[in-house]
Structure 1
Amino acid sequence: MTAGTISIAGAGGDEIEAYFAAPAGAGPYGAVVLIHHMPGYDRWSKEVARRFAADGYLALLPNLYSREAPGADPDDAAALARKRGGVPDQRLVGDVGGAADHLRRLPTSNGKVAVIGHCSGGRQAVLAGCNLQLQGVVDCYGAFVTGTPPADYPLPVTGLEDQLANLSCPVLGMFGVEDSRPSPEDVATLDRLLTEHGVAHEFHSYDGAGHGFFATDRPSYRQQQAVDGYARIADFFARTIG
């Protein structure tokens, strides 16, 4: 594969940093926009992008904190972004849309794009799917896709209940039974709403796992659940963009 840092046009035409990984062949390949988790544009997120390239997909990871802290350490950039209220929803949609457009224009692309996000990126993946024409959405334990954050929550996040009917592609949800954001009750609510709106979806909730069970560099990592989860993600991508 080839992998490295590039620049793409994000929301409002802003030039933002992104990490691109791709198979070395001529394609055509399906494409994946990876939305990083709240801790930021970090080493683990880049490793996930390379994983998808190894699986045969074009993978693009936009740095959502490019404007707040260009070139900064991921932890510092994430802290500054949180201090400034996080990534606004409209800007997120514009950045993901720019990433999807970049991927579709590549000569090795088959024109199909899915989006996947972890943690805050899970909610943002659903948000992108409600506002962009995509072929698939993978929500990995995204909090507040439904429901209202507590009054002391540090970011101005709202639920997406009023947008879910706009989803025009299938959704894969990966959740931990021991998670509290989203809780099993939150997952059940999202399942019910997507069913009512006729949105094709499949959810998998893992016993013994909480928030962040895919994150290999964190104590929350759960190897067995993550391996099974990646197998289900691979199957979903093969069916939607492969």
Structure 2
Amino acid sequence: MSEPSPTAPGSLTATTISVTGHGDDPIEAYLARPEGGAARGGVVVIHHMPGYDRASKEITRRFAELGYDAVCPNLYSREAPGAAPDDAAAAARAAGGVPDERLVGDVDGAARHLRALPTSNGKVGVIGYCSGGRQSVLSACNLDLDAAVDCYGAFVTGTVPTEFPLKISNLVDQLPNLRTPLLGLFGKEDKYPSQDHVAELERLLAEHGKDFEPHSYEGAGHGFFAVDRPSYHVPAANDGWERIQSFFGRHLGS
């Protein structure tokens, strides 16, 4: 029998693990890895507000298929351990969402887990969708990462409405601390973030000399990557994946 390829294109493994998050708490996470022992970058996938669900795990496996070690931490592990994604998301919303400090600690734990893998080339990026887009930017402002992607994250800029269920603020005061190149993918029909919010983000990052690549798509609204939702927008999602692959390829290797 021949030996497996060091890169094993298309072959991967995926499993549930535990990583050490904020406050040294053990939190559930989903790890997907290409087969083979070639050195490669890692990707932390921050799930959307609906939670640690099948769609988030499919995205994590896609990064493994693209050649990265990828891990998606369950940010709602503490609020609803072992609960179904919808129930866990409801519990997290009722508690005001994931505190920013805890989020940064959990992403840091996931990144440290990736860098400790024997296949790691030492580089780790982060990507987030919906609320996770904001959290991806938050992580990139507070952690030593190598690349970050914001997929339609609301309230990186702009004013949070008083009726919004999560206890968050915008990240305007943190943007001067952005430590890594940032790719932003947005829908022109989205309200949060609107195109005015995206323009404000572009202006602020330019003022601070940050590396930011924004792209907004005609006809796309919030959640255009979500294949299991009516918001799915095929042209935007396909082009977005191409941009993500190119961006991570430049900054993380593969």
Aligned counterpart for 1:223 among listed residues 216, 230, 234: 234
2:198 — aligned with what? 187
Counterpart AA for 2:183: L
Aligned-partner Cα distance in 2 for 1:140–1:164: 17
Answer yes or no: is the 8 Å Cα contact 2:142–2:179 preserved in 1: no
User: Deviation digits for residues 123-155 of structure 1, max 9, x if unmatched?
Assistant: 000000000000001000000001221111111
Give the counterpart letter for 1:241 in structure 2. Answer: L
Structure 1 segments of 4 or more deviating over 2 A? none
CA deviations 1:94-150 (Å, max 9, x no partner) are 000000001001110001000000000000000000000000010000000012211
Q: Please show how residues 169-208 of structure 1 align to structure 2 within 5 Å.
A: 169-208=180-219
Q: Give 1:92 shift.
A: 0.1
Partner of residue 46 from structure 1, selected from 57, 81, 85:
57
* Letter of the 2:186 counterpart: F
State the distance in 1 between where 2:38 and 2:44 align.
17
- Does the CA-based 8 Å contact 1:165-1:194 persist in structure 2? yes
Contact 1:147–1:158 (8 Å) recurs in 2: no
CA distance in 1, matches of 2:62, 2:90: 27
Corresponding residue pairs, total:
242
Q: Distance in 2 between matches of 1:130 and 1:4?
A: 29
Query: What pairs with 1:59-70 in structure 2 (closer than 5 Å)?
Result: 59-70=70-81
- One-letter amino acid matched to 2:170: G
Describe the superposition over 1:68-98 as per-residue Cα deviations: whole angstroms up to 9, x where unpaired.
1111100000000000110000000000000
Deviation track 1:26-71 (CA, whole Å, cap 9, x = no partner) reads 0201000000000000000000000000000000000000001111
User: Letter of the aligned partner of 1:87 in structure 2?
Assistant: V
Q: What is the TM-score with the length of structure 1 in the denominator?
A: 0.99
Matches of residues 102-181 of structure 1 in structure 2 within 5 Å? 102-181=113-192
Residue type matched to 1:220 in 2?
Answer: S
TM-score calculated relative to the size of structure 2:
0.95
Partner of 2:9: none
**Unmatched 5+ residue regions in structure 2?**
1-11
Q: 1:95 aligns with which of 78, 88, 106?
A: 106
Aligned to 1:9: 20
Residue identity opposite 1:229 in structure 2? G
SS in 2 for 1:56: coil
2:206 counterpart SS class: helix
Q: Which amino acid aligns with 1:221?
A: Y
Select the structure of larger CA radius of gyration: 2
Q: Percent identity, please.
A: 66
Hey, what's the Cα distance between the residues in 1 that align with 2:19 and 2:161? Answer: 35
Contact kept? 2:221, 2:231, Cα under 8 Å: yes
Q: For residues 150 and 41 of structure 1, what CA distance do their matches in structure 2 show?
A: 25
Residue 168 of structure 1: CA displacement? Answer: 1.4
Using the alignment, how far apart are the partners of 2:161 and 2:17 within structure 1?
38
